[in-house]
Structure 1
Amino acid sequence: MGVYETKLRTLYVMRILAENTDQDHILNATDICKLLEQQYQIHADRRTIYGEIEALRMFGVDIIQQKGKASGYYIGERSFEFPELKLLVDSVQSSKFITEKKSRELIFKLEKLCSTFQAEQLAKQVTILNRLKTENEEIYYSVDKIHSAIYNNKKIQFQYAEWTPKKELRFRKNGMFYKISPWVLTWDDEKYYLIAFDDVAGKVKHYRVDKMKHLDICEEDREGQKQFEKFDPSELTKKTFGMYGGMEIGVKLLCQNSLAGVILDRFGKDVWMRTVDENQFIVHVNVVVSPQFFGWITGIGAHMKIVEPMEVREAYRKYLETILEGYRV
């Protein structure tokens, strides 16, 4: 056997162990010899396999030897543990911004990171059909370009679209290209948003990545560094609802005790809360006041009330009256 065949044999042994073994499935030296012969037409004896396994261990592959009646070898620690792969598969198939085609491609690649037996288990939990998925394959590459622009400190340009009642994407501003400085990609309500600086308007804006079309990286350097020096995306997502902009205001809310978990999930454990009586508490939060914030309050119902400031209470009352007006007979 030549030098290249010897090197290939070592790699093939590693592949055989990676694909065919885990804690519940082991192979002994004889099994590995048979698979080498069947799959790669390479002849080897058991002593050769022992040497290959030792070489792979020295290389850093975690090969565990099981002794006893059912002795043999299996791959121990891998790049991803099996429960981690399950979480990743769940994330991919539930992500609305990844198309059905791309979801299947990614899950197939994830299955390559475990044994074939574990891959079968992953395949059984895949249920992509009938899930809400975007049809915009372009978003996958737009995210990559945005990351690249942020890393290289460059502006981007794109056309921005919106849905019509005919279920068609129509370009805003007659198809004019937006040119902005990208700073942060964030995930909110199962959607990807770009937080960027618009130097023409002189302010920070949000854009839905799935509505961006024909995105390209520009030659100009980004602007808006001062606005993003102390920017905390996690704080932004606490204050905004649906990533809609508006004026940030400190709001006092009167809540039933049963809403403590809702408040902590939304605003975090650092939020200020004070007990009023055995049934209610007061919470002070900073929010971006918008129709989406009012919609969130409405969804919770009578168990939460806006106490202060009065202008926000009044704006909310008018919001409700406008809705009720549409239902008057």
Structure 2
Amino acid sequence: MSRDRVLAIINCLSTYSSKDEPITLQKIKAILKQEYGLDLKDKMIRNELNYLQSPESSYPVVKEKNKNNYKENVYFLKEMAFQVHELRYLMDAISAARFISPTETRQLLYKLRGLTDEVTSKLLANELVLSESKVTIEHFAENIQTLHEAIRAKRCVKFQYGRYNVDKKFVLSREGGFYEVIPLGVVWSQEYYYLIAQEREKEKIIQYRIDRMSNVLKTEDSFSPIPGFNLKNHVAHLFNMFSGEKGNIAIEFDHHLINVVIDRFGIDARIKKISDTRFLLETEGIVSDGLVRWLLTWGADAKAVRPAELVEKMKKEVERYQGLYT
């Protein structure tokens, strides 16, 4: 067995064969000669294929009878690194991600299609329409990696933070001063990456859009995990990634919104029917502007019941709406 010959055959099969379109020994022979410069005898190729069909092979090859010529065998790799639907999931996620620039999106999609054979690659040609709001963010990938490394090493980070103004100029907060925080986790929500963090010397946990960060640096200061903090639970209680105070929330909904509520709070949400048209949701969550705006999405079909702070926030926001149209 020649290592180079075996690798060439594996590459040949992974590129030009599939379960639906296996290839013959003569086709393998022609490809090996044309693309790899290997002029091999049939017996030599057959020996390598026999090895790849054995239990010792890490790349199991399947041999079948050719449907078009029963006297001839055809071959394909038994298992590919990715199934076609798995590659489709990855490609669609990359296409939809606003923080991946159009150029990098095209490069990544091309690389993903290269992970399978030519036949399967053609099945992936119908790509998801790219988001029109994709943007190019300088050093975004490096910033993400720096944050992950800091969380793993339990090191604090510092960064500058800003937003666009109405003149479409990116303006740094705190006159360009650095935020110094304890990084608790990175999450991807609503097409954006967020850093969940606690600012130094403060108790409040805040969400920062990573695409609004610049000059992200890992510091020498270490930190200890916050006792009892659970990143998954924290994110589950947020609405549109707004910060606020946690509380026991009760909201009335019209029956037609039951699937909206289950999608947001899960099948185990505490739901009680209170009339032929309304049901009550009781849950724990963050009382914030994000929750207010989410409830206003459903108009009069959703009504905040408690806490009083949430009810008051809803009243004030409704008054603002009324003021716009008088």
TM-score clears 0.5: yes
User: Quick one: which amino acid aligns to residue 135 of structure 1?
Assistant: T
Hey, what's the Cα distance between the residues in 1 that align with 2:157 and 2:244?
24
Q: Secondary structure at the match of 2:208?
A: strand
Q: Tell me how far 1:278 sits from its aligned partner.
A: 2.5
Hey, what's the Cα distance between the residues in 2 that align with 1:81 and 1:115?
11
Q: Secondary structure at the match of 1:67?
A: strand
Identity of aligned residues (%): 25
State whether residues 95 and 105 of structure 2, in contact with CA within 8 Å, keep that contact through their aligned partners in structure 1: yes
Paired position in structure 1 for 2:253: 255
Across the aligned residues of Structure 1 and Structure 2, the Cα RMSD in angstroms comes to 1.8
Hey, what's the Cα distance between the residues in 2 that align with 1:153 and 1:237?
20
Paired position in structure 1 for 2:126: 124
Q: Tell me how far 1:121 sits from its aligned partner.
A: 2.6
Residue 13 (structure 2) pairs with residue 17 (structure 1): yes
Encode CA deviations 1:91-137: one digit per residue, 9 max, x unaligned: 10011111112211211221121101222332332533x62212104
Hey, what's the Cα distance between the residues in 1 that align with 2:101 and 2:32?
38
Q: Secondary structure at the match of 1:194?
A: strand
Paired position in structure 2 for 1:312: 310
Hey, what's the Cα distance between the residues in 2 that align with 1:251 and 1:137?
40
Encode CA deviations 1:54-111: one digit per residue, 9 max, x unaligned: 3334331131112244430012211211111011101100111111122112112211
Hey, what's the Cα distance between the residues in 2 that align with 1:41 and 1:322?
75
Q: Tell me how far 1:164 sits from its aligned partner.
A: 1.2
Hey, what's the Cα distance between the residues in 2 that align with 1:28 and 1:64?
12
1:284 to 282, 285, 306: 282
User: Quick one: which amino acid aligns to residue 198 of structure 2?
Assistant: F
Q: Secondary structure at the match of 1:317?
A: helix
Hey, what's the Cα distance between the residues in 2 that align with 1:251 and 1:126?
38
Paired position in structure 2 for 1:94: 96
State whether residues 29 and 45 of structure 2, in contact with CA within 8 Å, keep that contact through their aligned partners in structure 1: yes
The 5 A counterparts of 1:1-329 are 6-57=2-53, 58-70=56-68, 71-128=73-130, 131-223=132-224, 225-227=225-227, 229-233=228-232, 235-328=233-326
**Structure 2 unaligned spans of 5+:** none
Q: Secondary structure at the match of 1:135?
A: coil
Q: Secondary structure at the match of 1:127?
A: coil
Hey, what's the Cα distance between the residues in 1 that align with 2:272 and 2:17?
56
State whether residues 186 and 196 of structure 2, in contact with CA within 8 Å, keep that contact through their aligned partners in structure 1: yes
Hey, what's the Cα distance between the residues in 2 that align with 1:137 and 1:173?
21
State whether residues 96 and 191 of structure 1, in contact with CA within 8 Å, keep that contact through their aligned partners in structure 2: yes
User: Quick one: which amino acid aligns to residue 42 of structure 2?
Assistant: R
Hey, what's the Cα distance between the residues in 2 that align with 1:267 and 1:51?
58
Count of residues in correspondence between the two structures? 320
Q: Tell me how far 1:197 sits from its aligned partner.
A: 2.0
Hey, what's the Cα distance between the residues in 2 that align with 1:64 and 1:37?
22
Hey, what's the Cα distance between the residues in 2 that align with 1:296 and 1:258?
16
State whether residues 253 and 283 of structure 1, in contact with CA within 8 Å, keep that contact through their aligned partners in structure 2: yes
Encode CA deviations 1:175-203: one digit per residue, 9 max, x unaligned: 11222121211121111111112122233
Shift of the 188–64 alpha-carbon distance from structure 1 to 2, 3 Å rule, reads same
**Structure 1 unaligned spans of 5+:** none
User: Quick one: which amino acid aligns to residue 201 of structure 2?
Assistant: V
State whether residues 62 and 78 of structure 1, in contact with CA within 8 Å, keep that contact through their aligned partners in structure 2: no
State whether residues 254 and 301 of structure 2, in contact with CA within 8 Å, keep that contact through their aligned partners in structure 1: yes
Q: Name which of structure 1's ranges 154-163 and 131-140 shifts more when overlaid on structure 2.
A: 131-140
Encode CA deviations 1:7-30: one digit per residue, 9 max, x unaligned: 322211111111101112211111
Hey, what's the Cα distance between the residues in 2 that align with 1:59 and 1:219?
48
